Structure 1
């Protein structure tokens, strides 16, 4: 069934960094594979997508906002979340708003396509492919717990992905446990 895809292995691996019962934003959530994952872990979830039909299949899961985040205003001004998830989506003008949406003690889990992907499939337009180190630079105000930039098989794709946290206010040496097996 479409919409029942498993959550990203990257998101699953680093979901433990979202504080217990913390709020989670899934930006460009599509059919909600990560909303379902985090709701199943007991997190209040907010999903944002421009596709009303995709959101319709998520009714009752959490807060759902239909918004064109590329051509309209940021739909969550001033709001912060304990977890912010973005996968397979890139709109560079939103990177600062996405990073600012991470609450103190919260985590950004971001995974999308990188340069090189044009050699194996779509997306292939430079507008939708991160340059080397671009995601690291966008998250400069956060503490990077994990970062990868490279090639993955099945399906073949080039990706960049990051797990980055905003340290809690007043904590000098916060502990962000690495994932099991990591």
Structure 2
């Protein structure tokens, strides 16, 4: 089995944009497919998941925190990351927290299921399916590098995915505009 077999093609395609050795937060990291893959590429990995077995499986590859981020406090309050990766997870109340967790200039790589997926399998609940253009709306004010919404093969599923960069309002380009 190739090394990237379980890694999201979207994450693999855009990982070259992440600062090395930057600090990357893997939200809902599960058993660590992205945590492991990005750690092997020189990133400092921090993951969070509520499942204790997932945390144990991921822990050799970075700092892994067991936390229920849907019902408890955000375990990274006050921390910022060079990048945030989210795959196959959607909890809308976390959007402001996830975006605020990005350093200025930080990258967001996000991919999850969208409306239409209910025809092919789980999830079917609209609470866990992105609406058309929702990622673009959530990332307003960010630099959009890539965006896709559509049906993917093998297994068939409808996804929405985005790569966006938080503006760096402290950089030289901003300073020259305000001088």
Query: Could you tell me the TM-score, scaled by structure 2's length?
Result: 0.91
Q: State the secondary structure of the residue aligned to 1:10.
A: helix
User: Which residue in 1 is equivalent to 2:177?
Assistant: none
Q: Does 1:44 align with 2:44?
A: yes
Q: Aligned residues, how many? A: 171
Query: Could you tell me the TM-score, scaled by structure 1's length?
Result: 0.90
| Structure 2 portions without partners, runs of 5+ | 175-179
User: Which residue in 2 is equivalent to 1:9?
Assistant: 9
More helix per residue: 2
Alpha-carbon distance in 2 for matches of 1:104, 1:67: 25
RMSD between superposed Cα atoms in Å: 1.6
Moved over 3 A (4+): none
For each residue in 1:7-53, what CA deviation from the matched residue of structure 2 results, as whole angstroms up to 9, or x when unmatched?
10000111111112000000000000000111001011001000011
| Structure 1 portions without partners, runs of 5+ | 174-182
User: Which residue in 2 is equivalent to 1:99?
Assistant: 99
Alpha-carbon distance in 1 for matches of 2:111, 2:172: 27
Q: Deviation at 1:86?
A: 0.3
| Pair 154,171 (structure 1): closer, same or farther in 2 beyond 3 Å | farther
User: Which residue in 1 is equivalent to 2:173?
Assistant: 172
Greater relative contact order: 1 or 2 (C-alpha under 8 angstroms, separation 6 or more)?
1
Any conservation in 2 of the 1:19–1:105 contact (CA below 8 Å)?
Answer: no
